[in-house]
Structures are given as C-alpha cells and as structure tokens.
Amino acid sequence: MTQASTQGTVYGVGLGPGSQDLMSVRADRLIRGATHIAYFRKKGRKGHARSIVEGLIAPGAIELPMEYPVTTEIPFEDPQYNALLSEFYSRCVAQLIEIANAGCNVVVLCEGDPFFYGSFMHLYTRLLNQVPVSVVPGITGMSAAWTATGQPITWGDDILTVLMGTLPEKMLAENIAQTDALVVMKIGRNLNKLRRALAQAGRENQAWLIEYAAMEQQRVLPLVEVGESVPYFSIVLIHGNGRRP
C-alpha cells in the first residue's frame, strides 16, 4: 500500500477510573471527534473501556475491538502466555499503522492512565518511529480508590508502594511490611493470597478494599469485612500516617 503524504496519529487516550466526568477535556474532545476508535476487550465481552465511552462516539466512527487471545486461561509465567500476547500486539500494531499510513487518526481507549500498567504500553513501544503517537494521561484507578475512602493516602514523607496481587505471597508480605502506604491492584482471584500476606505483615486490620472506584457500583469496606470473592476491578489500600504540621 502507498503511504499517504501525511500520516495520521495514533492517540493513546486515558479514560480515568471509569466515570465519564473524570475524563480530561482533551480525552473527551479526541473521542468525540474520532473517525477510528480502537479498544481492548476479552473475547465475547463489550470491553470495559468501550463501556466507559458509551454515547460519546460519533455516528459512523469505525470501531476496532482488539480481543485478547488469552487472559487468565494460561499462567502468565508460562512461555506460551508471552508468545501469544506478543503476536497479538504485533497484529494490533500492524492494523494501527495501516490506518495511520492512510492518513487517518485513530484513538486507542485506555482505562486509567495509558502508561500505568496498561496494555497500550505494549503498542506504544512497537509504534514508535513508525507513525506519530500521542499519549493523553488519565486519572489512575488507585487515585479514585483512595479518594473514595475519604482519607489521604500519604502524609509528609510517607513511602507509597504499589503492588500487583499476582505477585508471590512471600514477596507481597515483605513489601507490605516495609512500606508506609500501600496500593495493591489486580485483586480478584488473588484475594486470599493477599489476605495471608497482609496477616504475615501484621497489617490486615489497616487494609481497605475498594470495588469499582468512581463507578456507579462503587463499594468501600475494611478488608476484614469483605467476603470470599471480589471483582477484578478492586483495589486494596493501606493509608500512610506520616509527618504532618
């Protein structure tokens, strides 16, 4: 295919934690004006990012769902997991480059912030030096979560640690014991392991669970009051209590 004299731009647009009124003005403008909208989703699902922008996409805009070949079916430490995802990201990038080389802009919807544990990062590094790429930051889910508790997450010189619930239990416990303030993401099926790690660190009674921060179904509870299962979109917090005037 012949490359257009002017390439389009691929925009990685942060949507924030899940509420349209927490999106930036720039994100809103780009989404409403987009002729091409791409977003990640699990096969058979609408996609969380796509749900956030319901009603904002212009009539006639071309939608490009990018369906993960695997999510939790294979352990992420399995070599096949990385191989499948690498091939998937390469296919997505090829499609985005084709659109940009045709002179069209394309908006890639990103939950939270595109550069914070998001899938867009894997596209970004592959797109660099091939087509113009622009990133629009968004409010992170953890920011919405600690705001939902009504308490500051850090004071003075508190150290904040961000962990993934997918980490080994021993590593979780060690990091939880050493930090002042804590954010743990990707809870879901990792809840019981995280509870054990918090107990080993002697901090289970300090922990809060926030489900669906900033969304209609938001729920905030001390972790000790939570049942045996929680949604994937859950965050566990421990507030810092550092220096203050």
The CA distance from 119 to 227, in Å, is 30
Tell me, what's the pLDDT at 76? 61
- Counting every residue, how long is the chain? 245
Does one domain contain both 95 and 22? yes
Give residue 149's domain range: 141-238
The CA distance from 57 to 231, in Å, is 27
Tell me, what's the pLDDT at 165? 95
Kindly report whether the global pTM for this prediction surpasses the value 0.85.
yes
Is 117 a residue whose pLDDT tops 60? Answer: yes
Is 106 a residue whose pLDDT tops 60? Answer: yes
Please report where in the chains the tokens 């987009």 appear, as a residue: 34
> Do β-strands 208-211 and 219-222 pair in parallel, antiparallel, or remain unpaired?
antiparallel
Nearest 5°: phi and psi at 137?
A: -65, 160
Does one domain contain both 153 and 72? no
CATH of the domain at 183: 3.30.950.10
Residue pLDDT, tens place only, 35-46: 999 999 998 899
Residue pLDDT, tens place only, 126-153: 999 999 999 999 999 999 999 999 999 9
Tell me, what's the pLDDT at 182? 98
Is 74 a residue whose pLDDT tops 70? Answer: no
Alpha helix stretches (DSSP H) within the chain: 25-33, 48-52, 79-101, 120-127, 141-149, 169-178, 191-200
Q: Are 123 and 89 in contact (CB under 8 A)?
A: yes
Residue type for 130, please?
A: Q
